Amino acid sequence: MAGLDDQTDSGGQPAPILNEMPVPDRKRQRPLDHEIPVRARIVRHSGEEFHESVAFAEAPGMTLVLWHDPGRPRLGVWLANEDVERL
């Protein structure tokens, strides 16, 4: 599992999440009735990480997972369903 230093690039900005999906059109997004505990697979240049979090929305083929990196503009990350495992 990557450490905290692997989550930032050389300029101190959050390292990009390589498996992040583009934000789907609002009409395709559906909030979940309740948060669902999940394990999210995050891929960065330094390798893959697994984090426990919660899913709170979905769209066809993808899930919105709560994710906070200081400096990221959003508090969630859209991931392909195969990168999200229910706990």
Angle at 49 between CA 58 and CA 30, to 5 degrees: 5
Where do the domains of the chain lie?
Answer: 16-86
pLDDT at position 47: 96
Coil, strand or helix: which one is 42? strand
User: What is the distance between the alpha carbons of residues 49 and 24, in angstroms, rounded to a whole number?
Assistant: 24
**Could you state, in chain order, the average pLDDT of each consecutive group of 10 residues for the chain (87 residues)?**
48 83 97 97 96 97 92 89 98
pTM listed for this prediction: 0.83
